Amino acid sequence: MGQTINGVLRRHGLILAFLVFLGGVALNADAFLTPGNILDVLRQVSITGMMALGVTFVVLTGRLDLSVGSLLTLLTVIVVDQHNIAGPFPAIVMTLLVGVAVGAFNGLLVGFVGLNALIVTLAMLSFLQGLVLFYSGGSNVNVANAQETWFGVFGRGDFLGLPVPVILFLVGAVIAGLVLQFTTFGRRVYGVGGNETASIFSGIDARWTVFWTYVVSGFTTGVAAVIMGSRVMGAQNTIGQGYELTVLAGVILGGTSLLGGSGSIWRTVIGISMLGFIQNGLLLLGFPYYVQWLVTWAVIIIAVWIDLGAKRGRIFA
Amino acid sequence: MSLATESQTGSPLQSVLGWLLRNHIWVFLALTVVVFSLASPYFLTVNNIGNILTQGAFIGILAIGMTLVMIDGEIDLSVGAILALASALAIGLQDHMGVWPAVFLGLMSGAALGFVNGTLVALSGMHSFIVTLGGLIGIRGLVFVYSGENALMVQDFSYTEIPEIYIGPISLTAMLFLALALFFQWVLSSTRHGRETYAVGDNIEAAHDAGINVKRHKIINFTICGTLAAVCGILLSMRLGTAEPNAGKIWELWTIIAVVLGGTRLQGGFGSMWMTIGGVLTLAVLRNGLRLLNTPNYVELMVMGGVLVLALVLDKLLNHKGDT
C-alpha cells in the first residue's frame, strides 16, 4: 500500500499538487479557469517556455545554461533593430543564426574544451550584456512601422482562435519531445547525462552531444526573442534580465534533475506553466505582484523535495 | 588538501613558485596593476587604492562566505537577496527601535536565512543550487513584502557616518573585509572546522565515514555565508543611506565570478581565502581601472566575461585538475 502511494506520488505528485492549486484558486476567483484567462497565461509563458525547451536539453546532459537571459536581450535587440534596417525576414534569420552561433560557442567551451558549464555561461551572460550595450549604444530600440509590418504575427497574432506564440511553444514542445524520445541524438543526451563515462565507452561522442544541446538552447532562445520582439515591438537593454533563473526554475519545478539523465520536455512544459498559473492565480486573488516569488520559493523546495524523497524512498537525506 | 603537502617540499624558491602557480591570480593581479598604472596617472595613487579596496570590499565580504560554501562543494545564489533584506531591515527598523538593535536584527535575518538554506540542503539532500535559487526568488519577495516598491530612506544621517573611519586611505569597510578574510583563512587552515570543510568538499562519503557530522557542518557554513551577506547589506545601507528593494541584484553572480577567478573550484575541496582576496581585488582593479580609462561600461562587462573564461583555461592548463 505504501509502495503504491509512493509510486503515485513519485509519478504524479507534482500534477496532483498543481491540480489542487488550480482548484483552490478557481473556487476563489471566477475568472481563473476561463478559456480566455488560460490562453493569456499560456501566452505569457510562451517566451520562457520556448527558452526552457532548449535549456532542458542542456540540463539533461547535467550542464547548465545561465546565458539565455542575456542572449534573449541581445537577440530581441537585434531582431527589432534589424527589422528596421533589413526587414522582418532577414531580421529573423539573422537572430536565429546569432542565437545558434552563441550556443555553439558555449558548446565549444563546455563540450570540447571541457570547462565548467556554470562558469562559462556566467561569463557569457556578462559578455552578452556588454555586447547588448555595445550594439544598441545604450538606447532602447523600437519597431518603426509597427502598424504595417507582418512581424507582429509571432507575438500578437491568432491562428484558429489560438495565439500564435502559444502555437509556436506547443509545436516546439512536441518537436523537442519527439527528438528526445525517438532520435539517436535524444538517447545520447540522456546517455551523457545519466553516466557520461559509460556513454563514452558505449561509443557516444559526449563532446558533440553537449555541443549540440547548447546549439539547441541558443536556437530556442532565438525563437523566443522573435516572439518577444514581435509582442513588445521594441527592446530595452534589460528586457531578458533574470530570465535565465525563471527558465531554470521552471525546468527544475518540472522535476528535471540538475545532475542530468532524468527529466523530459513535458515535465518542463508543466513546470513552466505552473509558474505562469501561480503568478496569474495570485494576482487574480488580489495579492501584490511580489507574493508570487514567495510562493514560487515554497513550491520549488516542496516539489523538488517530494520528487527526491519519492525516488529514494524516504523524506530526509 | 594539497596546499600543505606541496609547500613543505623543495627549496624556498620552489615553494614560492609553487605558491604562485596555485595562486596564479596574484600574478594576474600584479600584471593588471602594472598595465593600469602605465595607462592612467590616476590609478596608482593612495586615494585610488583606498577606493578600490572599499569598492571591492562589498563583493569581497560576500565572497568570503561563498568561498567557504564552495570549498564544501555547494553554492549559495541567495546572497544578493539576503543582502537586500538585511539592509532594508537595518534602515526600516531603526525608527522603531534605534540604530544598533535594527542592525542586530538585520544581521540575525541573514543568519536565519543562511540557517534555513543550510538546513534545507542538509535535510532534503537537494542540491544547494536549487535550494538557493528558490531562496534568491523568495527572499527578494520578502524584501518587497517588507519595504514595498520604494527605497527606504534613513532618517538620521549620522547612520551614514558610522563607516567613515579611515586608517590612511583604508576605510572601515575595507578593513572589515580584510579582517574577515584573514580570520576565515585562519579558520580554514588552522581549525577543525576548516579541515572538515576541505574534507567534506573533497569526498563527502569519506568525511562522513571519518565521523564528521556533515549535516551540521554544512548548516554552519551556510549560516556563516548568510550572516556575511547581511554584514555586506548593512555596510551598503550605511554607505548609501537608503535601502533599495533591488539592491544586490545579480551580485551573487559577481561574487561567484570573484571566487572562481581566485581559483577556488566549484567541485569543492580546493580553495583558500588568499585566492578569494586575489580574485576580489582583481575584479575591483579591473572595474576601477577600466572606468579611469573612460571606457564605456560595456567594455567592462565583456572584459569580465573574457577574463573569467581565461581564468578557467589557465587553471586547467596549470593544474590539470579542472576537469568538470
Q: What is the pLDDT of residues B269-308, one digit of tens each?
A: 999 999 999 999 999 999 999 999 988 888 988 988 898 8
Show which of residues 151-210 on chain A sit within 8 Å of chain B, judged by CB atoms: none
Range of the domain at A155: 46-265
How many domains in chain B? 1
Show which of residues 122-161 on chain A sit within 8 Å of chain B, judged by CB atoms: 122-134
Supply the pLDDT for residue B108. Answer: 97
Residue B8: is its pLDDT beyond 70?
no
What is the gyration radius of the CA atoms in chain B, in angstroms?
A: 20
| Domain presence at residue A230 | yes
Residue B322: is its pLDDT beyond 70?
no
Nearest chain A CA: its distance from B164 CA (Å):
32
Show which of residues 280-319 on chain B sit within 8 Å of chain A, judged by CB atoms: 296-306, 308-309, 312-313, 316
Which chain B residues touch A310 with a CB distance below 8 Å?
none
Alpha-helical (H) ranges within A157-205 are: 164-182, 184-194, 196-201
Mutate to test the interface with A, among B74, B117, B130 (most CBs of A within 10 A): B130
Percent of chain B with pLDDT over 90: 67
Range of the domain at B292: 46-319
| pLDDT band per the 50, 70, 90 thresholds, residue B266 | confident
Q: State the DSSP code for B157.
A: G
Q: State the DSSP code for B10.
A: S
Q: Does residue B144 sit at the A interface (CB-CB below 8 Å)?
A: yes
Nearest to A129 among B131, B296, B301 (CB): B301
Show which of residues 224-263 on chain B sit within 8 Å of chain A, judged by CB atoms: 249-250, 253, 256-257, 260
The pTM of the full predicted model, rounded to 2 decimals, is: 0.89
To which residue does cell 593544474 refer? B319
As a whole number, the mean pLDDT across chain B is 90
| Domain presence at residue B4 | no
| Domain presence at residue B21 | no
Supply the pLDDT for residue B324. Answer: 41
| Domain presence at residue A310 | no
Show which of residues 227-246 on chain A sit within 8 Å of chain B, judged by CB atoms: 241-242, 245
| Domain presence at residue A20 | no
Nearest chain A CA: its distance from B275 CA (Å):
17
Nearest chain B CA: its distance from A204 CA (Å):
18
* DSSP bridge pairs for B167: B170
Supply the pLDDT for residue B15. Answer: 83
Residue B312 phi, psi dihedral angles, 5° rounding: -65, -45
| Domain presence at residue A7 | no
Mutate to test the interface with B, among A63, A124, A127, A241 (most CBs of B within 10 A): A127
Nearest chain A CA: its distance from B323 CA (Å):
7
Written as one string, the DSSP assignment of A248-304 is: HHHHHHTT--TTSS---HHHHHHHHHHHHHHHHHHHHTT--TTHHHHHHHHHHHHHH
Nearest chain B CA: its distance from A149 CA (Å):
32
A245 and B256 within 8 Å at the Cβ level: the answer is no
Q: Which three cell numbers stand for residue B169?
A: 586611505
Supply the pLDDT for residue B7. Answer: 44
| Domain presence at residue B114 | yes
| Inter-residue contact A55 to A65 (CB < 8 Å) | yes
Residue A163 phi, psi dihedral angles, 5° rounding: -65, 140
Supply the pLDDT for residue A257. Answer: 87
| Domain presence at residue A173 | yes
B302 and A109 within 8 Å at the Cβ level: the answer is no
| A143-150: long-range contacts, CB 8 A cutoff, minimum separation 24 | A143/A80, A143/A83, A143/A84, A143/A229, A143/A233, A143/A234, A144/A84, A146/A233, A149/A83, A149/A88, A150/A88
Task: Give residue-wise pLDDT tens across range B132-173.
Answer: 989 999 999 999 999 988 899 998 888 998 888 898 889 999
Per-residue pLDDT tens digits of chain A, which is 317 residues long: 455 666 666 666 777 778 888 888 888 888 888 888 999 899 999 999 999 999 999 999 999 999 999 999 999 999 999 998 888 999 999 999 999 999 999 999 999 998 989 889 989 998 999 999 999 888 888 888 877 788 888 888 888 888 999 999 999 999 999 999 999 999 999 999 988 889 888 888 899 999 999 999 999 999 999 999 999 888 888 888 888 888 998 998 888 888 888 889 999 999 999 899 988 999 998 898 889 889 889 988 988 888 788 778 888 88
Supply the pLDDT for residue B2. Answer: 44
| Inter-residue contact B26 to B20 (CB < 8 Å) | yes
| Domain presence at residue B12 | no
Mutate to test the interface with B, among A297, A299, A307, A308 (most CBs of B within 10 A): A297
A294 and B142 within 8 Å at the Cβ level: the answer is yes
Where b means 16+ CB within 10 Å and e means fewer, A244-273 reads bbbbbbbbbbbbbbbebbbbbbebbbbbbb
Spatial distance between the Cα atoms of A20 and A39, rounded to a whole number of angstroms? 20
Show which of residues 18-77 on chain A sit within 8 Å of chain B, judged by CB atoms: 66
| Domain presence at residue A33 | no
Supply the pLDDT for residue B169. Answer: 87
Question: Per-residue pLDDT averaged across B21-32, rounded?
Answer: 86
Nearest to B137 among A293, A305, A308 (CB): A293
| Amino acid sitting at position A279 | Q
What CATH number should be reported for the domain holding residue B281?
1.10.3470
- Identify the sign of the CA torsion A227, A232, A238, A241: negative
How many domains in chain A? 1
